[in-house]
């Protein structure tokens, strides 16, 4: 059967004085029902834009998005609204995405009204049920967003996203703004809801430690492109792209022998305005050769389901050789 979400050659470009900004520049991936695909990378790599393009909250310059096999790129009006029931989004800052003048109950009921679901009484019952599902009390429906903590507001954002029973939730850095102690609670809630409701997540993050806990598969983005994609185990144990290796080396390692195993990244992320030619990572890559500055690397399948866009993906020394042992 068709993947739940399939994105093909997705791009978002715009012309400015001096060239073209390539915020997202040819991104392809697929996500199955009940699966979590993490999209990771430094800020500005285009991951949030990819999330919005996938729901057509902003319009792509090029590429296709299919939800459950249906191409949504050309849909409008009621047809697009029906597809949106399948896929909802939660944001990094739930306070900014909640209307301060609506009670929490009104905010959660709003998508039901937009989609014409139920009458006032059944919507109120559904709001109580949703609050329970995210670990809040039914009586809290009458309170306003400012009366809640950051973690509780994210729970409210999740309840609102769940209201229309989507199959997919796009989570745009849902825990980045929260205290570390609260992050784990929200991540565990998302995992619990996935198990209970069969949800799929496209989980956007810059923090690989969170991704390690949350994802089934991981796609690593850099300057508008996917550099490497693999199931979580292969990606963490045997990263085949220098950029992924650099990101992994930035995770605090409990074992002192592993610290500094891979050289941390030097320099800044180049601008998406006229990104570097060839491999766009070449300006920071410790393995760059002449070919990298001129020829764009192909997407190499280094193992089943494990792809790396690097000229030397197959030739990179195993991480074990660098560390004396593998990553746990």
183 binds Mg ion (CB under 5 A): no
212 interface partner picked from ligand SF4, Mg ion, none, CB below 5 to 8 A per type = none
Cβ contacts of 90 within 8 Å, gap of 6 or more:
97, 154, 157, 158, 161, 169, 170, 171, 172, 174
* Residue nearer to Mg ion on the CB measure, 48 or 152: 48
Q: Which stretch binds ligand SF4 (CB under 6 A): 35-43, 115-123, 203-211, 304-312?
A: 304-312
Residues from 132 through 191 that contact ligand SF4 (CB under 6 A): none
Which one, of 319, 187, 155, 327, lies nearest residue 253 by Cα? Answer: 327
Is the CB of residue 204 less than 8 Å from the CB of residue 175?
A: no
50 binds Mg ion (CB under 5 A): no
Residues 94 and 312: their CA atoms lie apart, in Å, by: 41
62 binds ligand SF4 (CB under 6 A): no
292 binds ligand SF4 (CB under 6 A): yes
Task: Tell which phi-psi region holds residue 17, choosing left (phi > 0), alpha (psi between -120 and 50) or beta.
Answer: beta
Residues 215 and 35: their CA atoms lie apart, in Å, by: 8
DSSP label at residue 264: P
Q: Which of 12, 27, 29, 48 binds Mg ion (CB under 5 A)?
A: 48
* Residue nearer to ligand SF4 on the CB measure, 27 or 292: 292
48 interface partner picked from Mg ion, ligand SF4, none, CB below 5 to 8 A per type = Mg ion
Q: Which of 95, 287, 300, 322 binds ligand SF4 (CB under 6 A)?
A: 287
Residues 8 and 97: their CA atoms lie apart, in Å, by: 28
Secondary structure (3-state) at 255: coil
Q: List residues binding Mg ion (CB under 5 A).
A: 48
Q: List residues binding ligand SF4 (CB under 6 A).
A: 241-242, 279, 281-282, 285, 287-288, 292, 297, 310-312
């Amino acid at each position: 059967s068709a993947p739940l979400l399939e994105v093909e050659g997705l791009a978002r470009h715009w012309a400015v004085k001096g060239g073209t900004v390539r915020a997202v520049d040819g991104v392809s991936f697929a996500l199955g029902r009940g699966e979590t695909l993490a999209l990771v990378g430094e800020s500005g790599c285009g991951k949030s834009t990819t999330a919005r393009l996938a729901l057509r909250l902003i319009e792509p310059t090029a590429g296709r998005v299919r939800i459950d096999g249906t191409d949504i790129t050309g849909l409008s009006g009621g047809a697009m609204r029906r597809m949106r029931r399948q896929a909802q989004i939660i944001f990094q800052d739930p306070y900014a995405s909640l209307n301060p003048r609506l009670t929490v109950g009104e905010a959660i009921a709003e998508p039901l009204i937009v989609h014409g679901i139920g009458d006032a009484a059944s919507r109120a019952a559904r709001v109580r049920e949703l609050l329970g599902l995210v670990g809040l009390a039914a009586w809290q429906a009458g309170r306003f967003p400012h009366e809640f903590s950051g973690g509780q507001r994210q729970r409210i954002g999740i309840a609102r996203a769940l209201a229309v029973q989507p199959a997919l939730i796009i989570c745009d850095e849902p825990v980045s703004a929260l205290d570390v102690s609260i992050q784990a609670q929200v991540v565990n809630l998302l995992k619990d809801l996935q198990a209970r409701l069969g949800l799929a997540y496209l989980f956007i993050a810059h923090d690989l430690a969170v991704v390690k806990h949350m994802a089934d598969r991981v796609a690593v983005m850099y300057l508008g492109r996917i550099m490497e994609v693999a199931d979580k185990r292969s990606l963490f144990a045997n990263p085949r792209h220098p950029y992924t290796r650099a990101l992994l080396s930035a995770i605090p390692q409990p074992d002192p022998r592993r610290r500094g195993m891979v050289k941390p990244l030097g320099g800044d992320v180049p601008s998406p305005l006229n990104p570097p030619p060839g491999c766009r990572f070449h300006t920071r890559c410790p393995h760059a050769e002449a070919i990298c500055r001129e020829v764009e690397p192909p997407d190499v399948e280094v193992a089943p389901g494990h792809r790396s866009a690097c000229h030397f993906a197959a030739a990179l020394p195993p991480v074990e050789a660098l560390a004396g042992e593998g990553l746990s």
